[in-house]
A and B are shown apart, each in its own frame.
Chain A
Amino acid sequence: MGYLRRTWPFHLMVLPALVFLIVFNFLPMAGVTMAFMDYKPWLGFSKSAWIGLDHFRALFEREDSIQVIMNTFIIAVSKIVFNLAVPFTFAILLNEVRQRFLNRSIQTLVYLPHFLSWVILGGILVNFLSTDGGLVNRVLGSFGIGPIPFLMDGDWFRVTIVASEVWKEFGYSTIVFLAALAGINPSLYEAAEVDGASRWKQTRYITIPSLVPMAIVVGTLSLGNILNAGFDQIFNLYNSLVYDKGDIIDTFVYRTAINDGNFGFATAVGLFKSVISMILIVISYRLAYKWANYRVF
């Protein structure tokens, strides 16, 4: 009791955030019931008909649903892997740049694309990657590499999606690793130098092991996105020629559910994604705890 009397201002400070969380995150959860209803907005929750698992059945009865889920999975996993590996490597390399000004300028330059929206970037990429006089293909053409259909061939489309996402986001993700690098105790390096370790050995035995826990945390958090392949990016870049390799759950929900106002179906798909994500987060959190001794709770 004395504890509470001493700390009540702190609890009070948490209150607004807690209210916010309840009002905007917990109360709307009642809306997942829509996934089991033939939801008609004008009838509301009380009068819309219950249809059980029909929406989920419809999701899996579509001839292309397995393909769409696989596309989502492949694109999302590639993004997670490269979004982890590239910033990790880049942070280590950038850390070796000793000139402060250069170091800072590069850091600023590479994270700028993060602030562009995919609507704008999509338009730019369509022009840059065009087979018909696009900048990238013209440069490749001068080396004798013949126009590559980046956006019109399914396999190239996936490469384009992952590469452009990594290009856009790696600078921003690098910041986390740079922060971790700054947190490494300098005495470790001093000791290594005294022992005669080379620059490479210092990286190999001090820098990388110190970054691994952070990498595991970032990886764990991103596993929740395993079924998010990036709606706004793909929606702005895809076309009917790459449907077989590039159509993902979110674009397909957009076309069927949002365009036609089928809210129940959209909710069902959302719920399906959330359940998968939650299972993955629980598993990966356990793994992170085991291997990196990382815990939130």
Chain B
Amino acid sequence: MKAHTRKGWMLALTFALVATFASACSSNNGNKNAASPSASAPASASASESGTEESTSPYKEKYDPPVEISTVWGVDPALKFKNGETIENNVSTKWALDTLGIKINSLWSVTDTNNAFVTKMRLSMSSGQKMPDTVTIGDAQLAQDLIDTGMFQDVGELFDKYANDTWKKAMELDPGVWNPYMRDGKKMGIPVLDYAYNHDYLLWIRQDWLDKLNLEGPKTLADLEKIMDAFKNQNPDGLKPDKVVPLSIGFKTTMNTWMGDPSWIFGAYGTVPGQWNVAADGSLEWGSINPASKQALETIKLWRDKGYIPAEAALWDENKTSEPAVAGTAGIIPGPYWMSGWPLLDTAKNVPTAVWKPYAIPTGPDGKAGRHGTNFTSGVTLINKDMKNPEALFTYQNYLFEHLADPAKGSQWDLGVFKGYDYDLDASGNPVYLDKIPGGEVNINRYWLVKDGARIPDAQMKSLLALADGKEPETRLEKEVKNNYGPETPAAAKVLLSQPGISISDMFTGPSTPTMSSKQDYLKKIELQAYNEIIYGKKGVDEFDKFVANWKSSGGDQITKEVNDWYATTK
């Protein structure tokens, strides 16, 4: 009897285990079944739409009945939502449905930390999941791989046919924006335009320190050295020399990034490392092997020996370089014009007397100056081959280029776009921004179907320059930069544009070449290793010549040839 009960227990336990397992399986199936009807919905909706034969062109200002555009989202982790909204269903999707008759259908979304969006996109690509009607990709390599899948269509004709003049003119500012997405003369994706000069460098210097020391801003590297020495050894805030970081730079993974890198020191000698520059003979060359880099490395080594740059610069990434700047222990930090808003705005919380002012990039011994430039694009929008109404995407984007990008004074979005999100009105009807909005501000630029909505490359700089000259903000964009950027941003824009010719852009924007995929990592590795060993004095500066020879023979020459073959096709 006793044995019998035990057996009974065993049986019960077994069934419980099996049942759990089975239910785990079937709940997955359940999800799958639930997903499929919604996936078939757009097909039926568009079928009924194509049945109407009222107009000859499918393009409409407003679609009735509404059409669907399916997409996927990488949600900026810093993006806040209010009123219980989500990226799938918010004030912007509601607006698109009400105003344009476009229903945004989200297939999936993921919070984009640690490149999660790129990873998920790659996984859905490799597992053969349904691709969205349209998707905007910022990662260059992923964009190229997606184009290679053949699941996305030639957009050239669509763009010529449906895009409005504002958008076309913005795109014509730099005809090179299409280059990365050309395949056999076909345009396989619409470049997403971004503001020009967004990553071009200038120097941010503690003006209060300069004033107390009676020093002028630097014109040359020699001036800069004097300033750094004074910051370190006669610090105006009374900091001990070993507590000051006169020049906050870092190069953990590259010498050429978006904040706090030393690329402009190379620029003073006539090259920019870590990118493809046009050489004297008109071909493309890898900036890191240019002989000018050797001189720049000597300078950086000297500065490190004197303690002008952080002792552990080789371990510092972008955000780390901003830490001493914000803490008030750094005197100079190189970076883009927008740094006045973030991160430098926070310095005042730690050192109330701190004042950051923008200064031009100093020149080298031969009077040269240089910095890395910004391409006008931040990504690409791809259109699925099977998208039923590609014209709807143009309806959406045309509207934004007309009303959001840079409308004249008096447009409907002059004060802001969505009341209660990016602006609000106080009791007397005056607009309020940022923290004064009840419930907090939301960065609605992240809500648009295409990243950042619509940007005209030169528009923001034009607005900033107007403000720098003392003009009162009038247009939508002028108000936006006034309200959302730091106090020194207009001045920084002016400093930036005082050196228009020194920006050197990476000229290679094509898909990675065959030799790159097998050799690139090794070449990058020996480059960083040689550079750091020179800067840290482990090897003499002549190690540079050995590195160049090694770089060339280990595949660098082959890559240079492939890059130039690609370059020839773009001319």
Q: Which residues of A contact B (CB under 8 A)?
A: 9-10, 12-13, 15-16, 19-20, 40-42, 44, 58, 62-64, 126, 130-133, 151-152, 239-241, 243-244, 247, 252, 255-256, 259-263
Known contacts being A63-B522, A240-B528, A240-B529, is A12 close to B311, with CB within 8 Å?
no
Residue of chain A at shortest CB distance from B251? A240
Cα(A256)–Cα(B122), bound, Å: 16
Known contacts being A41-B122, A244-B529, is A12 close to B310, with CB within 8 Å?
no
Cα(A247)–Cα(B528), bound, Å: 13
Report chain B residues within 8 Å CB of A13. 10, 13-14, 17
Q: List 6 A-B contacts (CB under 8 A).
A: A42-B126, A152-B312, A152-B536, A241-B538, A247-B525, A255-B525
Task: Check if B7 sits within 8 Å of A42, measured CB to CB.
Answer: no
Report chain B residues within 8 Å CB of A20. 21
Task: Check if B149 sits within 8 Å of A42, measured CB to CB.
Answer: yes
Give chain A nearest CB distance to B305 CB in angstroms.
Answer: 14
Task: Check if A240 sits within 8 Å of B525, measured CB to CB.
Answer: yes
B83 at the interface (CB under 8 A from A): no
Task: Check if B125 sits within 8 Å of A41, measured CB to CB.
Answer: yes
Cα(A16)–Cα(B22), bound, Å: 9
Give chain A nearest CB distance to B365 CB in angstroms.
Answer: 28
Report chain A residues within 8 Å CB of B522. 62-64
Task: Check if A261 sits within 8 Å of B18, measured CB to CB.
Answer: no
Task: Check if B312 sits within 8 Å of A130, measured CB to CB.
Answer: yes
B434 at the interface (CB under 8 A from A): no
Report chain B residues within 8 Å CB of A126. 315
Q: How large is the interface on B (under 10, 10 to 19, 20 to 34, 35 or more residues)?
A: 35 or more
Give chain A nearest CB distance to B254 CB in angstroms.
Answer: 10
The 10 closest A-B pairs by CB, nearest first: A41-B126, A240-B528, A42-B149, A16-B21, A256-B521, A132-B311, A9-B10, A12-B14, A255-B521, A241-B532
Residue of chain B at shortest CB distance from A6? B7
Task: Check if A260 sits within 8 Å of B18, measured CB to CB.
Answer: no
Report chain B residues within 8 Å CB of A132. 310-312
Task: Check if B529 sits within 8 Å of A42, measured CB to CB.
Answer: no
Cα(A240)–Cα(B142), bound, Å: 26
Give chain B nearest CB distance to A268 CB in angstroms.
Answer: 12
Residue interface mask B126-142, A partner, CB < 8 A = 1: 11100000000000011
Q: Which of B35-59 contact A (CB under 8 A)?
A: none
Task: Check if B17 sits within 8 Å of A152, measured CB to CB.
Answer: no
Q: Which residues of B contact A (CB under 8 A)?
A: 7, 10-11, 13-14, 17-18, 20-21, 122, 125-128, 141-142, 145, 148-151, 242, 252-253, 310-312, 314-315, 512, 517-518, 520-522, 525, 528-529, 531-533, 536, 538, 554
Cα(A12)–Cα(B11), bound, Å: 9
Task: Check if B18 sits within 8 Å of A152, measured CB to CB.
Answer: no
Task: Check if B10 sits within 8 Å of A42, measured CB to CB.
Answer: no
Known contacts being A63-B554, A243-B525, is A151 close to B517, with CB within 8 Å?
no
Residue of chain B at shortest CB distance from A9? B10
Known contacts being A19-B21, A42-B149, A63-B554, is A9 close to B518, with CB within 8 Å?
no
Residue of chain A at shortest CB distance from B17? A16
Give chain A nearest CB distance to B344 CB in angstroms.
Answer: 22
What 14 new A-B contacts, CB under 8 Å, besides A13-B17, A42-B149, A44-B128? Answer: A9-B11, A9-B14, A15-B18, A42-B151, A63-B522, A132-B311, A152-B314, A240-B531, A241-B533, A241-B536, A243-B528, A243-B529, A260-B517, A262-B517
Task: Check if B126 sits within 8 Å of A263, measured CB to CB.
Answer: yes
Task: Check if B150 sits within 8 Å of A239, measured CB to CB.
Answer: no
Give chain B nearest CB distance to A239 CB in angstroms.
Answer: 5
Report chain B residues within 8 Å CB of A9. 7, 10-11, 14
Cα(A256)–Cα(B17), bound, Å: 43
Q: Which of A19, A42, A151, A263 contacts B150 (CB 8 A)?
A: A42
Task: Check if B314 sits within 8 Å of A240, measured CB to CB.
Answer: yes
Give chain A nearest CB distance to B370 CB in angstroms.
Answer: 23
Residue of chain B at shortest CB distance from A262? B517
Cα(A133)–Cα(B314), bound, Å: 16
Give chain B nearest CB distance to A281 CB in angstroms.
Answer: 30
Report chain A residues within 8 Å CB of B311. 131-132
Report chain A residues within 8 Å CB of B532. 239-241
Give chain B nearest CB distance to A212 CB in angstroms.
Answer: 38
